[in-house]
DNA sequence: GACTGTGAAGCCATTCACAGCT
DNA sequence: AGCTGTGAATGGCTTCACAGTC
């Protein structure tokens, strides 16, 4: 019983297709080809068709895909055909930004609880919800049935927070702290580290520079 | 003149090794094996050795790697052996959080300018720097020699901001807006979309649920 | 004996190219 | 003719396994 045979890259692309289809739908497009989706999302048309083929046949040969239809299918595949209650621990700068992040709301991710250990931010409002002390974490997770948690606490507190989330019934965690969580295998953890992106950038910029240096060196002799 | 033959996955892992080595160094470890690095970062030891092999021979057979030494090599490879001036456009919630993000500072990414179109946040201080109007974007980029820009503006403004950054000399962009930028090929753009992570999570949670359903269905008949 | 560095094998994802439908 | 769906070919990354070194 493996988790699935679908590449993660495919899932990420499906999410991108979904956004593109929403846009096409807003523009009143009714039918769309794999080439059009590919152009709009920066992949190849064969890739689009292969990705969709993992889940069924959604198009009509000689015609293309019905935009609304395909969008619905993809959203169902991704689990976006419903709302997901999410709890967030760590009401610092980043936590506050995420609690109010519209991208989450639009896609059905509802922040139903924001928590902090520090008494300072407790009582603050983020939209309709109020920052609570971490003591009430378990209570809220259970009452709201949250299966997803977001961690935006400092590295030192991350592991403990992760364990409490799991103990209270959370099945998946989006971790923005720099600490690498060690949690049971069946818990889905995704680690977001902005510096990692920056480092890919600086690696490439550094290569560019080296190339230029070598170029001028070759020229010189 | 291809950009390089090194897989991006390798670069990302090098960044992770770098963090792990820093930690080992702080703990006073002098020598470390590929197995130890692998265990500490969740990869295989062969992977660690292969990744390093792209750039040279840094270890001693029968012994392992010198922690400080290897860390230095990796940081040089990633371009982390210096500081990088970075400008940030969009002083909203997320922009503020990033402007103060310690993870950047620690790794040598110095935010040397924060800009906004909205007059509201202008004049606000983030640490030592003050939010400026976007008119002064070009001036600051040139004066400080920034090659990296971060975009945290709404989708509607992202494209224009991207173009202005490039026109002023920025070579790489970390884009937090939901808009997919179209910029010259030689500009390195990395798109960060939190919802994408969430969608990978909901896809997997949805699969889990389906599995359980099928399990009980199979049981029932 | 321990551990690195690496060619070869294996595996997985992407691309190709075309048969099949409208 | 146009476009999807897919088996086959390709390409690239990861794992294996071992020769080389300390």
DSSP A45-60: HHHHHHHHHTT---SB
Identify the pLDDT of residue A143: 98
Q: Which of A84, A76, A81, A69 is nearest to A29 (CA)?
A: A69
Residues 52-91 of A with CB under 7 A from strand C: 60-63
> B44 beta carbon < 7 A from strand C?
no
Nearest to B102 by CA among A210, A208, A195: A195
Nearest Cβ partner for B204 among A100, A188, A207: A188
Whether nucleic acid strand C comes within 7 Å of the CB of A31, the answer is no
C-alpha closest to that of B163 among B153, A77, A49, A11? B153
The three-point CA angle B155-B160-B166 to 5° equals 120
Phi and psi torsions of A64, nearest 5°: 130, -155
- Smallest CA–CA distance, residue B212 to chain A, in Å, is 11
Distance, CA of A70 to CA of B141 (rounded, Å): 44
Closest nucleotide (C1' vs CA) to A65 is D4
- Taking the model in full, what pTM does it have? 0.92
- pLDDT tens-place string over residues B22-49: 999 999 999 999 999 999 999 999 999 9
Distance CA A119, CA A114 (A): 13
Classified as helix, coil or strand, B109 is strand
Beta bridge partners of B190: B174
The per-residue pLDDT for B11 is: 97
pLDDT of A176 above 60: yes
Å from the A169 CA to the C19 C1': 50
**Angstrom distance (rounded) from CA A99 to CA A96:** 5
Residues of B within 8 A of A104 (CB-CB) are 194-195, 198
CA of B45: nucleotide with nearest C1'? D15
Give the distance, in angstroms, between the CA of residue A194 and the centroid of all CA atoms in the same chain.
13
Which two tokens mark B120?
A: 């509201």
Give the count of alpha carbons within 13 A of A206, CB side only.
18
- Reference B116, options B144, B86, B137, B85; nearest CA is B137
CA angle A50/B13/B106 to nearest 5° reads 130
Here the tokens at position B68 are 């400080």
**Chain B interface, mutation test: which of A200, A208, A210, A218, most B Cβ atoms within 10 Å?**
A200
Å between B158 CA and nearest CA of chain A: 15
- What is the C-alpha separation between B7 and B70, in angstroms, rounded? 20
From chain B, pick out residues whose CB is under 8 angstroms from the CB of A152. none
Model confidence over A182-195: pLDDT tens digits? 899 899 999 999 99
pLDDT, one tens digit per residue, over B52-111 is 999 999 999 999 999 999 999 999 999 999 999 999 999 999 999 999 999 999 999 999
């Amino acid at each position: 019983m493996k988790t699935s045979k679908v590449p993660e890259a495919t899932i990420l692309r499906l999410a991108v297709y979904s956004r593109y289809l929403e846009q096409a739908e807003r523009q009143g497009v009714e039918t769309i080809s794999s080439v059009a989706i590919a152009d709009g999302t920066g992949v190849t048309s064969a890739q689009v068709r292969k990705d969709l083929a993992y889940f069924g046949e959604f198009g009509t040969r000689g015609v293309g895909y019905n935009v609304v239809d395909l969008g619905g299918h993809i959203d169902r595949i991704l689990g976006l055909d419903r709302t997901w209650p999410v709890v967030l621990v760590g009401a610092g700068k980043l936590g506050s930004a995420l609690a109010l992040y519209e991208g989450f709301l639009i896609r059905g991710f509802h922040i139903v609880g924001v928590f902090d250990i520090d008494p300072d931010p407790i009582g603050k409002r983020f939209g309709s919800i109020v920052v609570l002390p971490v003591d009430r974490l378990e209570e809220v997770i259970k009452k709201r049935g949250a299966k997803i948690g977001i961690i935006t606490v400092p590295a030192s507190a991350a592991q403990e927070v992760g364990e409490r989330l799991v103990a209270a019934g959370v099945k998946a965690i989006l971790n923005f702290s720099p600490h690498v969580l060690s949690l049971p295998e069946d818990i889905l953890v995704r680690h977001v580290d902005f510096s990692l992106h920056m480092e890919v950038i600086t690696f490439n910029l550094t290569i560019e520079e080296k190339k230029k240096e070598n170029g001028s060196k070759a020229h010189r002799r």
